Amino acid sequence: MADQLISTAVHRELPGSYVRPESQRPRLDEVVPDAQIPVVDLAGPDVVSRIGQACATHGFFQVVNHGVPLELMAAMLAVAYDFFRLPPEEKAKLYSDDPAKKMRLSTSFNVRKETVRNWRDYLRLHCHPLEQYVPDWPTNPPSFRDTVSAYCREVRELGFRLYAAISESLGLARDYAEKALGEQEQHMAVNFYPECPAPELTYGLPAHTDPNALTILLMDQQVAGLQVLNQGRWIAVNPRPNALVVNIGDQLQALSNGRYRSVWHRAVVNSDMPRMSVASFLCPCNDVLIGPAASLVTEESPAVYRDYTYAEYYTKFWSRNLDQEHCLELFRTTS
Ligand code: OGA
Ligand code: NI
């Protein structure tokens, strides 16, 4: 129900349904504050090897000179803030907790399944092909459809450029990933994390890996919140001017036969300021068979995962809790 949205009320105390048991709390004082994830200048030298290195060591990197116009990034964040400032009745019309819906405003992660809530509201949109989905998108704020469509187009192009570099870095043809993943769907999550009265007791999003192939994240420039697991420690990914954050999803881990890593990450919240992030997910076509690329399977490195369809994978992903074991573990070869 729409009254579950947290962005429609002011909260002076954290409701009990958001409080994590002691052992699951974020332990914010143990997070590495000033670690760096790799930064790749897409207009600079050695792009392919730098991306390959980042995918293998961190599963995350930031890109600059990425071709997405900076004013469009700013406009996207601005319209996202305007959207979440709409009056409650306006937002209520868009609310749904059915993950099968192609346009919905929701809260937490999966309110039908989870036992503890997360301090996040989110708008989820299907974005490709645009002509098919835009007619169902919000009409308010008035610039929403134009701004978000333009942003989606640019991000998709960037995604395909990244696929080419990632494929090449694995020794595959530059169009390998794009072809192997079929006609790509594209989804967007506009994540809004309001100020939280007790950030040390809860999450915006608990630790998870992304089930899709590649994620491009536009982060609030003022407020940090994304953290990535690296060598057993949580490291903070601080916003970098003009950069976009890229991460490998489960499907590229499978395709690379485990060489590239879809790593655990989470969003934490804070008591001072709201935070916005806009995640664009490139997702394989539902019925294409996904598995390790043939040339990456050798006697010394046998296939780590079996072949499966994304439809099968996605159903499994949404039937679990976010912070259970890595979903790909369920698709390991048994031999
Ligand atoms: C996501 C995600 C991180 C963030 O939407 O999958 O990991 O910082 N978001 O909002
Ligand atoms: Ni994620």
pLDDT, tens only, 31-64: 999 888 999 999 999 999 999 999 999 999 999 9
Cα 218 to ligand 2 centre (Å): 12
**Distances from the Cα of 53 to the Cαs of 46, 166, 171, 261, 287, in angstroms?**
11, 10, 13, 11, 30
Cα 265 to ligand 2 centre (Å): 6
Residue 119 has pLDDT above 70, yes or no: yes
Cα 300 to ligand 2 centre (Å): 32
pLDDT score recorded for residue 83: 98
CATH code of 2-6+25-331, in short, is 2.60.120.330
Which residues pair with residue 189 across a beta bridge? 124, 279
Among the residue ranges 112-121, 151-160, 268-277, the one predicted with the least confidence is: 112-121
Backbone dihedral region of 21: left (phi > 0), alpha (psi from -120 to 50 degrees) or beta? Answer: beta
Print burial letters for 172-185: b (CB count within 10 Å at least 16), e (below 16).
beeebbbebbbebb
Name the residue among 104, 149, 137 with its Cα closest to residue 122. 104
Cα 44 to ligand 2 centre (Å): 27
Name the residue among 216, 323, 214 with its Cα closest to residue 262. 214
Measured from the Cα of 215, ligand 1's closest atom is: 6
Share of the chain above pLDDT 70, in %: 99
Mean pLDDT of the chain: 95
Cα 253 to ligand 2 centre (Å): 14
Residue 1 has pLDDT above 80, yes or no: no
pLDDT score recorded for residue 221: 93
Cα 255 to ligand 1 centre (Å): 22
| pLDDT tens track for 271-283 | 999 999 999 999 9
Q: Is the CB of 278 under 6 A from ligand 1?
A: no
| pTM summary value | 0.97
Q: What is the mean pLDDT of residues 140-161?
A: 98
* Domain-wise residue ranges, the chain: 2-6+25-331
**Distances from the Cα of 67 to the Cαs of 64, 132, 213, in angstroms?**
8, 25, 21
When pLDDT is cut at 50, 70 and 90, the band that residue 2 belongs to is confident
Q: Which alpha helices (H) appear in the chain, and where do they start and end? A: 47-57, 70-84, 88-92, 130-133, 144-169, 176-180, 250-255, 310-318
Residue 155 has pLDDT above 70, yes or no: yes
Q: Is the CB of 291 under 6 A from ligand 1?
A: no
Q: Is the CB of 277 under 6 A from ligand 1?
A: yes
Q: Is the CB of 249 under 6 A from ligand 1?
A: no
Share of the chain above pLDDT 90, in %: 89
| pLDDT tens track for 53-95 | 999 999 999 999 999 999 999 999 999 999 999 999 999 999 9
CB contact at 8 A, 256 and 292: yes
> Best substitution site from 37, 187, 191, 244 to test ligand 1's pocket, by max atoms within 8 Å of Cβ?
191
| pLDDT tens track for 203-257 | 999 999 999 999 999 999 999 999 999 999 999 999 999 999 999 999 999 999 9
CB contact at 8 A, 112 and 104: no
Q: Compute the chain's Rg from CA coordinates.
A: 19
Measured from the Cα of 204, ligand 1's closest atom is: 10
Nearest listed ligand to the Cα of residue 217: 1
pLDDT score recorded for residue 283: 95
Q: Is the CB of 187 under 6 A from ligand 1?
A: no
Q: Is the CB of 245 under 6 A from ligand 1?
A: no
CB contact at 8 A, 237 and 36: no
Residue 322 has pLDDT above 70, yes or no: no
